Amino acid sequence: KLYDKCLKLDTRYATEDELSLVHSKEYIEIIKSTEKLSEKELRKLSNKYDSVYLTRETFSAAKLAVGNVLQVVDSVLTDQCLNGFACVRPPGHHSSRTKASGFCCFNNVSIAAKYAINKYNKKRVLILDWDVHHGDGTQKIFANEDNVLYISLHRYDFGDYFPQSIQSNYNIGKNVVNIPWNGGPMTDSEYMLAFFNVILPIAYDFNPDLVFISAGFDAALSELYI
């Protein structure tokens, strides 16, 4: 079994200093405050965001998700392993510096990228996002930062698919490569075409020190939530 062949890492919570690599301290405090809110207050705060459902356990769960991704970064960059996989919830790629969105509170992959840059002096980081939705939060966080290249394949439907933003289109930003699908369903052939003709040539030219896969699985065949 594949699981039996894997190196299992201990879990840990991200610190607030690590969260602040990406998120504002004010926003972190807002999410932290959910630990003491009533159910009515949680619903009221949730309604300030788009498709976010907060509980008293949200802050703890989101810190653990980030911390586990950072554990993988440490294990790879200290040569304990060649690569790693962090299976975590809540997800992160819709959350921006000051806002939760789309089930996402803290942007796990963005924090991990900043962590690798700051702690391990990585100069070029590539983030490849293949969720069915565009990672608008990740794109905003790294807007115009030369040391991070963000590439996303996602359903677009001419701007009608969540997050319903023109920023999800193909012609946005100097360090952004969006591959927006219109119509569908897209098959292995379309994905292979995108990888061989767009993603891999650009990735090789960028020559990253570290690659993150922001791996949403809701674009998979038979996924109900699309």
Structural domains in the chain, sorted by start: 12-214 (3.40.800.20)
| 216 secondary structure, DSSP code | -
Per residue in 31-66, pLDDT (tens digit) is 999 999 999 999 999 999 999 999 999 999 999 999
Give per-residue pLDDT as tens, 123-137: 999 999 999 999 999
Which amino acids are annotated catalytic? 94
226: pLDDT strictly greater than 70:
no
Sheet holding 210-214, edge to edge: 176-181, 148-155, 125-129, 210-214
Q: Which of 209, 211, 217 is nearest to 199 (CA)?
A: 211
Contact 160, 183 (CB under 8 A): no
Kindly give the interhelix angle for 58-77 and 25-32, rounded to the nearest 10 degrees. 130
For the cut 60, the answer to whether the pLDDT of residue 175 exceeds it is: yes
CA dihedral 44→31→109→133, nearest 10 degrees, is 0
pLDDT in tens, 203-216: 999 999 999 999 99
Contacts of 10 (CB under 8 A, 6+ apart): 71
210: nearest Cα among 75, 91, 94:
75
pTM: 0.95
